[in-house]
Amino acid sequence: MTKTRRAFTDEFKREAVSLLESSGRPLMQVAAELGIQPSMLRNWRAVHGAEPRSRTAPPAAAPQGASPAEQAAEIARLKRELERARQERDILKKAIAIFSEPPR
């Protein structure tokens, strides 16, 4: 019987690499927690680890003399960005909980 090949999204790959880099844990442990082969995570790190981190780079701050409308737009943008980061964090927490359960 042949197994079907699993496909992973680029977002999942980037999140796995960022988890590896930020956690300080060994690659083997992170790969086991995510349920993937260590070689896959190594390859993803080679590809996605060298990408510029646009989400972690601070955006250009609004100038001090910005109008109230511009400041309100910047605040709204930052709130949207914060909500997205919270959603991504919650998804990663759930994934870690699922993959860290002992096998049945």
Q: What is the tens place of the pLDDT at every residue in 42-90? A: 999 999 875 444 445 555 555 567 788 888 889 999 999 999 999 999 9
The reply to whether the predicted model has a pTM over 0.85 is no
37 and 71 share a domain? no
Res 104: pLDDT: 74
CA distance 79 to 59: 13
Number of domains present in the structure of the chain: 2
Lookup: tokens for 17: 């690499």
Q: Is residue 79 part of a domain?
A: yes
Res 62: pLDDT: 53
Please name the residue that has the structure tokens 């909980």. Answer: 97
Q: Is residue 98 part of a domain?
A: yes
100 and 74 share a domain? yes
Q: Is residue 13 part of a domain?
A: yes
Q: Is residue 59 part of a domain?
A: no
Q: Is the pLDDT of residue 23 over 60?
A: yes
CA angle 35, 41, 47 (to 5 degrees): 145
Structural domain of 94: 67-104
CA distance 61 to 3: 50
15 Cα distance to chain centroid: 3
Q: Is 92 left (phi over 0), alpha (psi -120 to 50) or beta?
A: alpha
Burial tier of 30 (Cβ tally within 10 Å: 0-12, 13-18, 19+): buried
Res 89: pLDDT: 93
